[in-house]
Amino acid sequence: MSKSLFGDDKENKLIIFTDGGSRGNPGPSAIGIVIGEKEYCEKIGKATNNVAEYQAVIFALKKTRQILGGKKSAEAEIEIRMDSELVQRQLSGKYRIKEEDLKILFVNVHNLLFDFKKVSFRHIPREENRHADFLVNKALDKK
């Protein structure tokens, strides 16, 4: 497995940082993702902060599967770190999801989990997610 993607502590464990943001809530929105040394950001149109957070996770899982391929994905343990406590707790099954649009996105994430050996979601302080946040703002600032 690629050393540039996987952390030193465990060869098959990949740490991914995700962030989504909206200016206006809802308003112009974007996502930022860091997978190993690779980084991605893009505008996603008008959305709420929570929708953007979910879209970032969906993008990260799809991109990781694409990078690793099917066999390596099936062996990979993924930890997605995010600063959205609400989304992290919803994805971890600790909070119920009330909004219909988030329920649909939750199902999309859940379906992507089958491509990996294990996926966990970890809430981190905003200061530890600065790079993904920077990418969100970089995408939003593009003309």
pLDDT tens by residue, 60-114:
999 999 999 999 999 999 999 999 999 999 999 999 999 999 999 999 999 999 9
In order of 6, 30, 104, 114, 140, the CA distances from 107 in angstroms are: 27, 21, 5, 12, 27
Domain coordinates of the chain in residue numbers? Answer: 13-141
Report pTM.
Answer: 0.93
- For range 49-65, the mean pLDDT: 98
Per-residue pLDDT tens digits for 105-121: 999 999 999 999 999 99
- For range 131-139, the mean pLDDT: 98
Residue 1's pLDDT band (boundaries 50, 70, 90)?
very low
Edge-first strand listing for the sheet containing 13-22: 38-47, 27-35, 13-22, 77-82, 118-123
CATH class of segment(s) 13-141:
alpha beta
